[in-house]
Amino acid sequence: MKILVVGGTGTLGKVVVEALRKKHEVITAGSKSGDVQVDITDLASIQQVFEQVGTLDALVVTAGGAAMAPVQQLTEAHFYKGIRSKMMGQINLALVGQTYLNPGGSITLTSGILAEDPIANGAVLTTINSAVNGFVLGAAGELVKSQLRINVVSPGLVEASAEALGEYFPGHVPVPMAQVASAYVKSVEGILTGQIIRVV
């Protein structure tokens, strides 16, 4: 399969790419790094990257950020940052990407466990992750008509981020990187659609 991994140079993306490269042709994308560049907050940039890479068998997204702050300090601006990046960045990749995917192809997005297991300062991420999960649930049934599958991987704090982020996730047990990679392989190579693939 020919697979585009947006965010393929990041902490999660690197292990996902390593696992997919065993069997597939993988193109990585980042805003500054990767085989090709795209800014997921910019729709024109998304359209341009698909024109550049052409027809695909799978799209995987492991990119998209959101602000963290105490709820007492949150403003609309904090939310819009996450909406433009992790939410609409991924949704726009899926919306534009569907026309570049071959029949039988798949889309795999990334949310995160904060959708249902919140932490302090994480209200924006809880909101955005839930929205990404919601898009996948809402879109999957109709994408059947296009012979496309769509899933979202929802990882817990991953082992490679535990040193940097562990203090913000009290009591969370970091998830092994191999387990994270396997969830994306399952989504790309398996038969699931409309699923939130939780890795905890």
Residues of the shown chain interacting with ligand NAP in the complex, contacts defined by CB under 6 A: 6-7, 9-13, 30-34, 38-41, 62-64, 86, 110, 112, 155, 157-158, 161
Alpha-carbon gap, residue 170 to 155, rounded angstroms = 16
Q: How many CB atoms lie within 10 A of CB 10?
A: 20
Cβ–Cβ contacts within 10 Å for residue 14, how many?
Answer: 18
Alpha helices per DSSP H over the chain: 11-20, 43-53, 76-82, 88-97, 123-143, 162-165, 177-189
Residue 173 CB, nearest approach to ligand NAP (Å): 12
For 138, the token pair is 């809402």
As measured in angstroms, the least distance from the Cβ of 164 to ligand NAP is 8
**End-to-end CA gap in the chain:** 28
71 versus 200: smaller Cβ distance to ligand NAP? 200
| Angle subtended by helix axes 11-20 and 177-189, to nearest 10 | 50
Report the residue closest to ligand NAP, judged by CB: 10
Give least dist CB 43 to ligand NAP, A: 12
Nearer to ligand NAP, 98 or 161 (CB): 161
User: Nearer Cβ to ligand NAP, position 89 or 105?
Assistant: 89
**Using CB atoms within 10 A of its CB, is residue 61 exposed (0-12), middle (13-18) or buried (19+)?**
buried
Closest distance between ligand NAP and the C-beta of residue 13, in Å? 5
Contact 135, 85 (CB under 8 A): no
Give whichever of 31 and 182 is closer to ligand NAP, judged by the CB atom.
31
Q: Output the smallest distance, CB 136 to ligand NAP, in A.
A: 14
